[in-house]
Amino acid sequence: MLWAMEYYTMNADEIGTELVFLKTGATKPYRFYDEQLREVQEMIPREFAMMNASYEYGDFPARPSQRECLSCKFAEVCSERKM
Ligand code: SF4
């Protein structure tokens, strides 16, 4: 929505958004309100900075938990996994 508003120089109320379920073709329209969009606009640079900061971490210690490890895609090769 934010991208479309900037690219097409349109207001939020002029742009339609919808979630499309590819298997069924069903759609679910979404409406975004100004306050939501402002929150997302503020969140993007903050989250981006946090993601970039992760490059400076020395390592990523494992944090095993039964719930997470059960569905983890790395469980087969992880020495820390909880079963
Ligand atoms: S299996 Fe390893 S990497 Fe996956 S959640 Fe558990 S501790 Fe983390």
What residues are in contact with ligand 1 under a 6 Å CB criterion?
A: 62, 64, 68-69, 72, 74-75, 78, 80-81
> Which atom number of ligand 1 is nearest to the Cα of residue 75?
1
Q: 50 C-alpha vs ligand 1 centroid, how far in Å?
A: 21
Helices (H), the chain: 2-7, 34-53, 66-70
* Cβ contact 26:41 at 8 Å: no
Backbone torsions φ then ψ of 48, nearest 5 degrees: -60, -45
Instruction: Tell me what the mean pLDDT of segment 55-73 comes to.
Output: 88
Check residue 82 and give its pLDDT: 87
Q: Could you tell me the pTM of the whole model?
A: 0.55
Backbone torsions φ then ψ of 19, nearest 5 degrees: -90, 130
Check residue 54 and give its pLDDT: 81
Tens of pLDDT, residues 1-33: 999 999 999 998 999 999 999 999 999 999 888
Check residue 58 and give its pLDDT: 76
Q: 58 C-alpha vs ligand 1 centroid, how far in Å?
A: 18
